[in-house]
Amino acid sequence: MLIIFIELLVVLLALYLGSKYGSLALGAIAGLGLAILVFDHGLKPGTPPTDVIYIIVAAVTCAGVLQASGGMDWMIQIVERILRKHPQHITFLAPLSTFFLTVACGTGHVMYTLMPIVTDVAIKKDIRPERPLAVASVASMLAIVCSPISAAVVAFSTISGLNGFSISIPQIVAVTIPACLCGIIAAASWSYNRGLDLHKDPEFLEKIKDPVQYAFVYGNTATTLDKQIDKKSKWAVYIFLAAIVLIVILAFAQNILPAFDTVKAIEGASAVALPTGKTVSPSDLASAGIVMAGVTEKVPATIHMYLVIQIILISAAALMIIICGTKPKAAVAGNVWQSGMVAVVAIYGIAWLANTFFGAHMAEVEELLDDMVDNYPWAIALVFFIFSVLINSQAAVVVALLPVAYKLGIPGWILLGALPCVYGYFFIPNYPSDIATVNIDRTGTTKIGKYVLNHSFMVPGLISVAISTVVAYIISSIFF
């Protein structure tokens, strides 16, 4: 147990240092921890989550090309018109806008263009910008578990299927979307009268006595409405949305997908003794593609959905490049593609490290958590949340911990109900979306407190995740 504890400290230290340095360090330092476990402690390396990584690459490429085409600017313009038409409801409309943008695009980083607009609308209506901004930042990241093309959702579907809980992507988002909307609306309701209006806030009034600060707050106007959006940019949006709709349709109607012959071991078949004296299992023969009467057989197998998603998203990116004239170099230079590639490295290192540790000590983990799993299986939500605080990635939490949860015997419907808890990194305000939101609020009302944890995102985040999890748990228990 002492050795296991030391190895666990290696894992936690790697996650802590990776989070401290941020960006590519998350995956790189996790790789260093993996090297210590393998070369120094002699653990067998786990399997890196290549399927999930490929999906992220496809989704990020497609979203990056959409951004380079100008399509995201058009989507932001549509949202801005709604916000400016109803400024009095900005505290509700802003988080709903960032939520649905993330659901559509599969990444929360589309919020960066919208946040200055939210600030501008709030200031002009004398509404404290902290109210809509904090909830909008939380909503943009919580929505990751609601997007049909996000790595977290696809990973949940794929890993669940491999562990006997067959659930499609539309079924997942049918639970998470209404659940997370309830959480976001609850957080927005709490935020509606949060703090003082700008004309009553003594700290803000003291700040704008300085003419430079007054000009900084009231002299700037952030808008995308002055941008000219050409037809090719709009066509890129149509292609992107058509790809998402096609993915959802095919997830519902998988019987129309292509099927290919594959070799499968016959249930109950015995191992085969080769002339060399070596014994080969039916599953080994099937993996080698060898058909042997009474042992293995050819059966048609439908193409896996995770491959379908990759094919469609890459094809959509290609169509945007060919039809809309989008420049690939511009896509690579955009923040959506770059942030996505950072996520790839993070998931690659973190999930591989976790897979190696838990794979080596699964028996001990099962024994240690046996009572918890039997009596409080819902407590896995707390584990998801704590792990997310450490690694800043919903997909990495799913890939690293979901297989462990299934091996512990936790039912799939409970894990689906706990899915909103894979977003916990608002707890420590070091994620780029939260930092950017603080910097964008030129009134200074959105802030990181003196004691770090008393920041603007804490209460909206806790309300959103807690309510979303409870509602998701209820919906999942009813239908699954």
d(CA 175, CA 181): 10
d(CA 357, CA 4): 9
- C-beta of residue 183 within 8 angstroms of C-beta of residue 421: no
| The residue type at 49 | P
At residue 83, the 3 state secondary structure works out as helix
What confidence score (pLDDT) does residue 150 get?
84
Contacts of 57 by beta carbon, 8 Å cutoff, 6+ apart = 340, 341, 344
Tokens of 29: 């330092």
Q: What's the mean per-residue pLDDT of the chain?
A: 86
Longest dimension (CA), the chain: 92
- C-beta of residue 122 within 8 angstroms of C-beta of residue 84: no
- C-beta of residue 455 within 8 angstroms of C-beta of residue 437: no
Tens of pLDDT, residues 325-378? 889 888 888 877 887 788 788 778 887 888 788 778 777 777 777 677 777 888
At residue 193, the 3 state secondary structure works out as coil
What confidence score (pLDDT) does residue 97 get?
93
d(CA 191, CA 186): 9
Residue 279 phi, psi (nearest 5): -100, 130
Region class of 409: left (phi > 0), else alpha (psi between -120 and 50), else beta: left
CA neighbor of 68 nearest in space, from 222, 228, 236, 225:
236
258: exposed, middle or buried (Cβ count in 10 Å: 0-12, 13-18, 19+): exposed
| The residue type at 353 | L
DSSP secondary structure string for all residues of 165-177: ----HHHHHHHHH
| Per-residue pLDDT of the chain in tens (480 residues, 90 and over written 9) | 788 888 888 888 887 787 777 667 878 888 899 999 999 888 888 878 777 788 878 888 888 898 899 888 888 889 989 999 999 999 999 999 999 988 988 777 778 878 888 988 998 888 999 999 999 999 999 999 999 888 889 889 888 988 888 888 889 999 999 999 999 999 999 999 988 888 888 888 888 888 888 888 887 777 777 788 889 999 999 999 899 889 888 877 777 888 888 888 887 787 887 777 788 888 887 877 888 888 888 888 888 877 888 899 999 999 999 999 889 888 888 877 887 788 788 778 887 888 788 778 777 777 777 677 777 888 889 889 988 887 777 888 888 888 888 988 899 999 999 999 999 888 887 777 788 888 888 888 888 877 778 888 999 999 999 999 999 999 999 988
d(CA 408, CA 365): 8
What confidence score (pLDDT) does residue 22 get?
67
- C-beta of residue 96 within 8 angstroms of C-beta of residue 86: no
What confidence score (pLDDT) does residue 323 get?
92
The H-or-E segment that residue 315 falls in is helix 305-324
DSSP secondary structure string for all residues of 366-429: HHHTHHHHHH-GGGHHHHHHHHHHHH--HHHHHHHHHHHHHHTT--HHHHHHTGGGG--TTSSS
Residue 280 phi, psi (nearest 5): -120, 135
90-105 helix and 130-142 helix, angle to the nearest 10 degrees: 20
